[in-house]
Structures are given as structure tokens and as C-alpha cells.
Structure 1
Amino acid sequence: MKQERKRILIIYTGGTIGMMKTRHGYAPQKEKFHQLLDAIPELKAEGMPDWEVVDMDPLLDSSNITVREWNTIGTMIAGNYDRFDGFVILHGTDTMAYTASALSFTLRNNSKPVILTGSQIPLCEIRNDARDNLITAMQVAADDRVHEVCLYFGGKLLRGNRSIKYSADDLIAFESPNFQPLAEVGIEIRYNFPALLPACKETFSLQTLKSVPIGVIKVFPGIQFELFDSIMTERLKGIVIETFGAGNIPGSSDALLPIIRKASENGTIIIVCSQCPHGTVALGAYETSEALRNAGAVSGYDITTEAAVAKLYYLFSCGLEEKEIRSRMEQSLRGEITI
């Protein structure tokens, strides 16, 4: 008996992969991009899944993607969840890791492959990375062994909430600094089965996100923390602090710790991440980081800034109490941190 083809929904959000040359530079053009897709013979070859395309409106450069677009993409997936076996999201590279992280949290109890991909060179160009990224993403999206939100790019399948954009001009643009790739692609797709999340047996649902006020502060030598005092109000719900090394801050500054205490007393959740791509935050390992813990900060361990921001949005949108949010930020919900 001939095996029935899997059905994949391609969600086109914009980004370099579908852009065309215009007088004002590259810009997305929906109709021409659809024509280019239809002209790729491999997408209709035996062994490939059946597919449909839906477009986000308007199509956006990924630098313009916001919480609203994360909700739009999530709603598109949720509305078609029972009709398709997998999903491929074509997205610009600049904020792809943020979107992948956000979807990993908002798609609750997801057991289907949701693969984000894009390209550094548009599909319209003769030499491009768009074609191979798209074809492989489609094959992964049709694979029953993947049950999570992933990012595929340049021969590597990464957990979405573990990925970061590493290069602006290399064809291998993304890395997963603290977690091994879920698959590496050469002649064959070689899956790292122990790293894959198992299928969830609970009922799928979508948690839309609220656009709550969240900030990011990157510590640098000579930083004047007192400049941030004015933003530490009750309105600020969460803040991610990118510290040195394992969670260290300048020991000579007396301004930061009172600001963090003030923010914590206002109900603001302070998450400590490391500026180092590799390694983990260990609050208390050094005297300069123990002060952060005592002031009310929460360890992000080896979470990326992208995932920390998305996770804060998600937990606040769930309507949880401050104590519960603080606790869950130090727990792995979707494989985003190593405890």
C-alpha cells in the first residue's frame, strides 16, 4: 500500500528568503516568491510532503517582528494544527531565534515539528542558500521523530529556544552554544535522538502573549547603573541582565544592588544571564554574583537572552503570581536551560 504523503503548512512571514530586488533594495514580494516556490521541482518530487503556503499580512523584515506577530504566527499554527502534520515558518534571520523561542513556549503541549528557516541570500538569486534550507526544513517537518519548535539553517537543526544568531554574513548563521544540535545534515539527516524532546500526550493549546514591559541591560566596564534607576518602576515587569562570566557585576559600583532591590520590591522579575555564549550563570560562585542573589535576582543558568525574554513574556501572559514566575524561570519548561 502506498504511504500517504504528509501535509506541511508553510507560513511565510517575510525576510530575506522571499525578497526580490527593487529600486530601493531587497523587499518581500509575495506573488513572485510564490512563483519561485512553484518552480522548485524538488518540492514536488516523490518522497516530499504535500504543502500549502499562507502569508502573514503584512510581510515584514524580521527586525520589525513584535509580540503581535508572534501571536499571529501562533494563531496560524493553532488554527491549522489538526489539518497538517508539520509546519515550516519562513522568517528573516535577525530575530528568528526570538520567534523560535517565543513559539516554543506559546505552543503548549506541541507534539508536531515546527521548523523555522530562512536564508542569507534570497531565493531569487542564482547562488543562494534558500533552496537547500527550505527543502531540508520541509523534510524535517514531515518527520515523525521531531516534536518541538526547531530552527534549521546551514546544515544544522537546533532547538529553537537554544539558538542564537551567530553571523550576519556567513551561510552558517546560527549556533546553539550550550546544547548540541538536534540533527546535522550531510548526505543524510543524522538525528541526535537523545537530545530530541518526546511527543507530548496532553492536549495542544495556544497561549497568546501580552506585550508586557520587559527590558534588557548589558553590563560593561564603567557602566553607570544610576542611569537605569528611573525605569525601575512598578510598570516594568521583567528585566534580563547580561552579566560578566558566571553572573558577575562590577564590585566597585554601589548603584546596581539598590536598584535591583527596588525593582524586586516593585514586583519586577530580574533574570541574570551571561554575556558568554558558552557556560552558565552560577549566582554565589563569586562574591560579586552572590550580591545579585541577595538583592532578589534569579539565575538564568545557561538560557539565551532570546529565550529569557520570550519566557518572561510567556509566564506573565499565563497570569501567574510573582513567586511562581520566579520559580519557573529557574526551571526548564521546554528544554531551554540546563539545570
Structure 2
Amino acid sequence: MSKKILVIYTGGTIGMQASDSGYVAVPGFEQLLRNRLDNSHHALLPEFEVLEYEQLIDSANLRPDNWRQIASSISDNYARYDGFIVLHGTDTMAFTASALSFMLQGLGKPVILTGSQIPLSQLRNDALDNMITALLLAGESRPVNEVCVYFNGRLLRGNRASKVKATGLDAFDSPNFPWLGQVGIHIELHRQLLIQPAAEKFQIPEFDPAAVAILQIYPGMPATTAAAIINQPGVRAVIIQSYGVGNLPDADAELIAVLREAAAGGIQLLNLSRCLQAQVSQGAYACSAVLNEIGVISGGDMTLEAAFAKLHLLLATESDPQAMREQLQRSLAGEISLD
């Protein structure tokens, strides 16, 4: 039986056209796509329909409310389709993939995000291959039942993906987790890595865009800078981007005092490494031992995108601070490696 796929076009480079002010999102993507597919073996592709947003999103303008919009498009149409493709701009694709993985836990159908570095409207582009392969993956007879990013031959767990190149066609990678599959002459899926279907737990809450802030540690950073970020109105959680395996300047008593005060005031502090490949280990060096004392939570090997989206979801759905701390250190959708 042929699969039926819903393609959700949210905007992004894949559907843009050149203008005097640079590439801009324009309506009418479905017709452009079908015109391009007329020159390919489109009869071998699964049947698909396109849902194009009336207000297209340049992904640099993405806000947490857009996650809710996309998740609702999937949830509202979940019973009618066998899989979903979300066409999205590359700049914030990994944030959206992470958010969807937490909002749509227990998926029994594939949700694949893709896009391109060169618009489909251009003669030479990566858009058509990404689109065709995403359709084939979404229509697999043994479906990949999780949120993924497919880009340039790589199938990645959505909440493990990061954009690592601004102009290379291999824009995305999964620095702390193996690829779920690779596409060359053949499509090779590593099924032992896939999340197994479970009871569906779809949560599509209202988000407060001010709730999560990011504090990147750098040499000589004044404590007043950290305080200004942490004490912004509405901030309830802060991601600390520290050095190496979770280190920060413990000799800076004023900075430590700012973090201690924030934790005592109920702000959730989550420690991630600035390194692309890393596993936070608070206390491995003496300069990070104080974080355990303060109550800073180790983010393990989560990506910044996954941690940001996970905090937003938990702040929107969990009222018990201790339960939130516990869930931050658990794997909700394969986003963190556990010892």
C-alpha cells in the first residue's frame, strides 16, 4: 500500500528566489516542486500533499511560537498521513527539530526536517536531492519513527543535530551521536539506533520566549555581564556555555556569587560545553566542583539547540522545580547519553 506524506512548507532557502535585496521567501512552492519532479522518476516517490504556510518564515526570524505552529500542523493531520516532511530554513532547523522531538514524543510515524543551501529555483542546487531523499525516507516501508534532520546524505536524530557549516552543502552533523543513516548509492539505515515507538505523548504548550537565556563564558567576563543576562525580566532558566568538560573561572568570586544567587532564587542553571564534541563532567576539574555545590545541572552531551528547546518545553509544562531538574538529566527523546 502506497504511503501518503504531508510536506509542510514553512519557508527557508529551499523555496526562496533571488531579489534585489537577496534571497526572499515566496509563495507557490508546490508548483515549483512538482515542475522540478516532472523531470525525475517521480512515479517512484510516495504520494504527497503540500501544506504551505500563508506567512512564510525566514528561519532567522524563528520564535518558539513557530514550534507550536509546526507541531500543531503535524498533530492536526497526524491521522491522515503516514509521514511528515517539514521544509525549514537551515539557520534554526536544529532548534525546531529538537523542539518537535520533545513536543511529539512517542511518534509512530516519521517527521523529517530538510531544506537546502541553494534554492530549488536555481539551476544548480541541493534542494531537489534533499527533497526526493526525504520523501523516500518518509515513505520507508519500515518507518523511521522519530524526528530527524535529513541533509546532504546524512540522516540525523533531530535533537542531536547542529548546523556546522554556513555555506557547505554538508551543513549539518551530529557531533555527539552516530548518524541514523547515510544515503549514497544505497539508503543505509542504522535501525539499532532508532527510538522505538511508544505511547504517544504530544504536548503543544504556549511558550514564553523570554524564559530561557544563554550565558557564554569567556576570558575576563565581568560578573555584571552575567548578572545582566540572568536578571533579564522573565528569565527562568539559563544555559551556561562553559569551557571543556564544564569548567569556568572559579577564581572569580563575583561571578560565582552571581550564579549562586541565581540558583538560590529558583533559576534553573544548565551547564553545557562550548565545544562541539563534549560531555560535561562537573567536578572532573576543581574549577567546576563549585557548580555541583551551587546546584548547577550538568547538560551532559546535549547540543545547545536540544538543551534550549528542552528547557522551554519543561518550563511550559512542569511546575515542580525538582521534577524539572530530574527530567533535564533524563533522556526524553534520545537527546542525551546516560551513563
**How many residue pairs get matched?**
334
Matched residue SS, 1:294: helix
When residues 44 and 59 of structure 1 are mapped into structure 2, their CA distance, relative to the original with a 3 A threshold, is farther
For residue 42 of structure 1, report the CA deviation from its aligned partner.
Answer: 6.6
Q: Which amino acid aligns with 1:142?
A: G
When residues 42 and 104 of structure 1 are mapped into structure 2, their CA distance, relative to the original with a 3 A threshold, is farther
Q: CA RMSD in A?
A: 1.5
When residues 59 and 43 of structure 1 are mapped into structure 2, their CA distance, relative to the original with a 3 A threshold, is farther
Matched residue SS, 2:18: strand
Tell me whether 1:89 sits opposite 2:76 in the alignment: no
- Between the aligned partners of 1:209 and 1:337, the Cα distance in structure 2 is 24
In percent, how many aligned pairs have the same letter? 41
Q: Which moved more, 1:317-326 or 1:130-139?
A: 317-326
- Answer yes or no: is the 8 Å Cα contact 1:209–1:313 preserved in 2: no
For residue 196 of structure 1, report the CA deviation from its aligned partner.
Answer: 0.8
Q: Which amino acid aligns with 2:94?
A: A
CA displacement, residues 309-336 of structure 1 (integer Å, 9 cap, x when unaligned)? 0000111111331111111111111000
Q: Which amino acid aligns with 2:83?
A: G
Q: Which amino acid aligns with 2:42?
A: A
- Between the aligned partners of 1:203 and 1:155, the Cα distance in structure 2 is 29
Q: Which amino acid aligns with 2:33?
A: L
What is the correspondence of 1:57-68 to structure 2 with a 5 Å cutoff? 57-68=54-65
- Between the aligned partners of 2:76 and 2:240, the Cα distance in structure 1 is 36
TM (norm. structure 1) is 0.95
- Answer yes or no: is the 8 Å Cα contact 1:232–1:262 preserved in 2: no
Q: Which amino acid aligns with 1:291?
A: V
CA displacement, residues 259-312 of structure 1 (integer Å, 9 cap, x when unaligned)? 111111221110000011112000111111111111110000000111000000
Q: Which amino acid aligns with 1:34?
A: E
1:38 matched residue in structure 2:
34
**Where in structure 2 are there 5+ consecutive unaligned residues?**
none
Q: Which amino acid aligns with 1:183?
A: G
2:192 matched residue in structure 1:
194
Matched residue SS, 1:158: strand
**Where in structure 1 are there 5+ consecutive unaligned residues?**
none
Q: Which moved more, 1:251-260 or 1:190-199?
A: 251-260
When residues 42 and 85 of structure 1 are mapped into structure 2, their CA distance, relative to the original with a 3 A threshold, is farther
TM (norm. structure 2) is 0.95
2:221 matched residue in structure 1:
223
When residues 203 and 161 of structure 1 are mapped into structure 2, their CA distance, relative to the original with a 3 A threshold, is closer
- Between the aligned partners of 2:230 and 2:32, the Cα distance in structure 1 is 49
What is the correspondence of 1:222-301 to structure 2 with a 5 Å cutoff? 222-233=220-231, 235-301=234-300
- Between the aligned partners of 2:251 and 2:100, the Cα distance in structure 1 is 40
- Answer yes or no: is the 8 Å Cα contact 1:9–1:53 preserved in 2: yes
For residue 251 of structure 1, report the CA deviation from its aligned partner.
Answer: 3.0
Match of 1:183 among 181, 185, 193: 181
1:126 matched residue in structure 2:
123
Match of 2:167 among 166, 169, 178: 169
Q: Which moved more, 1:43-52 or 1:279-288?
A: 43-52
For residue 5 of structure 1, report the CA deviation from its aligned partner.
Answer: 1.1
For residue 43 of structure 1, report the CA deviation from its aligned partner.
Answer: 7.1
For residue 242 of structure 1, report the CA deviation from its aligned partner.
Answer: 0.6
- Answer yes or no: is the 8 Å Cα contact 1:121–1:130 preserved in 2: yes
For residue 109 of structure 1, report the CA deviation from its aligned partner.
Answer: 2.0
Matched residue SS, 1:215: strand
Q: Which moved more, 1:114-123 or 1:39-48?
A: 39-48
1:28 matched residue in structure 2:
25
For residue 231 of structure 1, report the CA deviation from its aligned partner.
Answer: 4.4
Matched residue SS, 2:23: strand
Tell me whether 1:106 sits opposite 2:109 in the alignment: no
Matched residue SS, 1:10: strand
- Between the aligned partners of 1:99 and 1:231, the Cα distance in structure 2 is 23
Q: Which amino acid aligns with 1:124?
A: S
Matched residue SS, 1:315: helix
- Answer yes or no: is the 8 Å Cα contact 1:272–1:299 preserved in 2: yes
Matched residue SS, 1:22: coil
Q: Which amino acid aligns with 2:185?
A: I
Tell me whether 1:78 sits opposite 2:75 in the alignment: yes
For residue 210 of structure 1, report the CA deviation from its aligned partner.
Answer: 1.6
- Between the aligned partners of 1:41 and 1:311, the Cα distance in structure 2 is 41
Tell me whether 1:13 sits opposite 2:23 in the alignment: no
Q: Which amino acid aligns with 2:166?
A: A
For residue 209 of structure 1, report the CA deviation from its aligned partner.
Answer: 4.0
- Answer yes or no: is the 8 Å Cα contact 1:104–1:149 preserved in 2: yes
Matched residue SS, 1:271: strand
- Answer yes or no: is the 8 Å Cα contact 1:162–1:307 preserved in 2: yes
Q: Which amino acid aligns with 1:338?
A: S
